[in-house]
A and B are shown apart, each in its own frame.
Chain A
């Protein structure tokens, strides 16, 4: 004999409660759905909208091509034109934000790889430590570039979509209280700050801020996250099947905040896993004055030096792929 009120009993069972909750939820969700369609953006800063142009270039370029993968260290700190000349292949710089996570970055490019392509990956230590990020950057990027939802694991998509609705409601509330900047956002973090190859250039014309962000990883973070190596192998396997190659290198980093212990651990893990990691890490550590607003955003001289050193390491690793050597 069932001891509970029957689930199908009308009016007083759990089904009736669920119906009430569903009706109430609809009252909440309908305005949120309307905000998803017509609401203001999550943030007035349109920086991440630059991803659209990067993807357009990625899909338009024929193989062989060079893909630069990583966070903003590579977006801000690599000279793609110099790379193009040395590698005799068009370059697309996909670097935009480390907060997207390595999983997202792999998903962005893996279907666009073709014969002869080279993927150069320069990850901030945070991406190696925590490759599967679920931070707020995903809300911002999908808000600005809706097709970016495809680069997020399916199980995380409902969280991102509902989060965007909530954040848009908060934007609307800010607008109603007159606390919304309408000037397009930030003087530096703008979608139009990138050139056609995907390099961020806007900071090169700005005066260097007096202080720069030195936020590092928390001590609990492992040097190499458990999911990182499988993801790296997945990218390499995918590239191999499509006739492309993947190589890892170091991001340009400032003295302040540079973690030598972590770097050695990353180097050892790559070595043990047989992943190609080019360049000596100390060659990619620059004085603080070479950076703009964070310890990864190189200014003009540092950017050129880092590109030169990356090229030198690349040409040593694969002389055949380096037409400047021939």
Chain B
């Protein structure tokens, strides 16, 4: 079920009313209800894949308890390996089987051997990359002694399958979210209202920004780069930068806001990443929960930042794996590696990270960082490495300044919406989301909300089903 679908428009109020009126008073019943609602939400796509969630959840619930009970280090390590094998095995089979087989065949072909490996028609279960990482962090943290396993099975199952964040995150840690399922929730009017505002902003980003940019991006990326003006290729990348931001951060806003309606606090996933002044800062602001996951469970175990060489190696490996997490294609790995390479100047000069918020004086560095990120998005969006290379080559070769194409793209109404987004988020950059900063009187606030709803209605594309990009990952 998509958040931006009519079915969800019915689902959410029904679940909200049932939750607060009939189930919220008893933690166990509430969690069982949330599990049922979440599984129904997921089964709307394909009920058969519920089995995978069940296997992953049950395995980590049992393995987590077994790791905690065991005092034998080898047995604990073996149990952790079992959890990794189950979760990464599911992920590897459903997401990467054909990729690895194809790549292996290409490798053999490269050294002169012919291979005809089997290709399976595998459907990628929605959200598999998210919930497997979430459950994995649970067993790893128990193994590290950071958390104790829960004995409350419904709480754990609800933690894994909680519908607002089941299919595209934020990827939550057990230590943050699981306790919220183990204790009673009180309805918090201010949090719920703010949750609705955050959802509204998320819908705006998804429908008025991402979905309106999508057809422009699709058309430009589907064309032959050789015959396209460089400025058009540049705008294709630029619109994609906002499409993916609107799509994914919009989803995260909806998920976080929705969770607050039910009394749960999810982790922040985006913090205005396009206002970053460096690539390092960008990654502290973009898909924060995934970046933190890779930092804690890949980068630091690899050795972290002991010396420059090690740091460079570990960073490149971490970003390459992060790229692979996004999709079974060399373009994603290339995208990850490029971001790793982007970090090199900061590593080599021991650049210090900035924690304060950006000001207008930082504009040149913000623009430079944004351009670097946008160029990298070409790899992310392209269908192959060759496509990406051609796209980037012709972007520069085909007369970047082309007055006709420039005027055409600058006059696109979608660009106006992007400007509105940027202004609103710049004003609100010290807050969690753009509508939190509104301190005007109620009539003015409601007028603003109505204008946003009108923008959503006027840009709602009922002719196409606009899934969220990150559902594919």
Contact = CB atoms under 8 A, between A and B. Distances in A.
A3 B17 contact: no
B294 to A, nearest CB: 33
A5 B20 CA distance: 8
B25 A4 contact: yes
Contacts of B13: 18
A263 B202 CA distance: 45
Interface size class of B (residues with CB under 8 A): 20 to 34
A17 interface: yes
Contacts of B263: 4
Contacts of B449: 24
Contacts of A163: 6, 462
Contact of A4 (B6, B186, B462): B186
Nearest to A139: B462
A2 B25 contact: yes
Interface of chain B, main secondary structure:
helix
B190 to A, nearest CB: 9
A119 B390 CA distance: 55
Contacts of B45: none
Given A169-B457, A173-B458, A158 B6 contact: yes
Contacts of B462: 136, 139, 163, 166-167
Given A28-B450, A162-B6, A169-B457, A4 B184 contact: yes
Contacts of A283: none
Contacts of B460: 166, 170
Most A Cβ at <10 Å: residue of B186, B189, B193, B446: B189
A322 B185 CA distance: 74
Given A158-B6, A169-B457, A136 B16 contact: no
B141 to A, nearest CB: 27
A1 B185 CA distance: 13
B401 interface: no
B16 A14 contact: yes
A24 B263 CA distance: 22
Interface string B163-194: 00000000000000000000011110100110
Nearest to B20: A14
Interface in A1-49: 1-5, 7, 12-14, 16-18, 20-21, 24, 27-28, 32
Interface of B: 6, 10, 13, 16-17, 20-21, 24-27, 184-187, 189, 192-193, 196, 263, 446, 449-450, 453, 457-458, 460, 462-463
25 contacts: A1-B25, A2-B24, A3-B24, A3-B25, A4-B185, A4-B186, A4-B187, A4-B263, A5-B187, A13-B187, A13-B189, A14-B20, A14-B21, A14-B187, A17-B193, A18-B13, A24-B446, A27-B446, A136-B462, A139-B462, A159-B6, A162-B6, A163-B6, A166-B457, A167-B462
